[in-house]
Amino acid sequence: MKTVNIHAAKTQLSKLVEDAVAGEEIVIAKAGQPMVRLVPVEPVKRRGFGADRGKLKVPPDFDAPLPPEILKAFGVKG
């Protein structure tokens, strides 16, 4: 683990980022007290189009009119 103070971190930020991406743990300290840890961002896994195909079933009456009691609850006159 490498510990650097804030001033050094400002002047060496590019190198510290490269080191963190390479797997080194970097701690940035202020007045000798550890404040933050510099770590690489994990890549976001993107889901492809159609990844949930077959997992959802739409009932045949999906677009049927709502029952009168539900319409009344929404203030709609049916």
**Residues 2-12 as b or e (16 or more Cβ within 10 Å = b):** eebeeeebeee
Structural domains in the chain, sorted by start: 2-38 (3.40.1620.10)
Tell me the pLDDT tens digit for each residue of 36-69: 999 999 888 888 888 888 898 999 999 999 899 9
Q: What is the pLDDT of residue 62?
A: 92
In single-letter form, the type of residue at position 26 comes to I
Q: CB–CB of 2/25 below 8 Å? A: yes
pTM for this entry: 0.55
